[in-house]
Amino acid sequence: QVQLVESGGGSVQAGGSLTLSCAASGSPYSTASMGWFRQAPGKEREGVAAIGANGDTRYADSAKGRFTISKDNTQNTLYLQMNSLTTEDTAMYYCAAANRRSTLLSLVKIWYNYWGRGTQVTVSS
Kindly give the pairing relationship between strand 91-98 and strand 33-39.
Answer: antiparallel
Dihedral over alpha carbons 51, 35, 85, 21 (to 10 degrees): -100
Cα–Cα distance between 108 and 125 in angstroms, integer? 30
Model pLDDT, residue 73: 81
**pLDDT of 36:** 98
Within a 10 A sphere around the Cβ of 81, how many other Cβ atoms?
15
Compute the average pLDDT of residues 47-58.
94
pLDDT-based confidence at residue 28 (cuts at 50, 70, 90): low
**Residue 71: its pLDDT value, please?**
93
Residue 120 CB contacts under 8 Å (≥ 6 apart), including other chains: 9, 10, 91, 92, 93
Per-residue model confidence as pLDDT tens digits over 69-102: 999 988 889 999 999 999 999 999 999 998 877 7
Q: What is the pLDDT of residue 30?
A: 54
Q: Is the pLDDT of residue 29 over 60?
A: no
For residues 51-57, average pLDDT: 91
pLDDT band at 26 (very low <50, low <70, confident <90, very high): confident
Average pLDDT, the chain: 93
Q: Are 122 and 10 in contact (CB under 8 A)?
A: yes
Q: What average pLDDT does range 20-35 have in this prediction?
A: 80
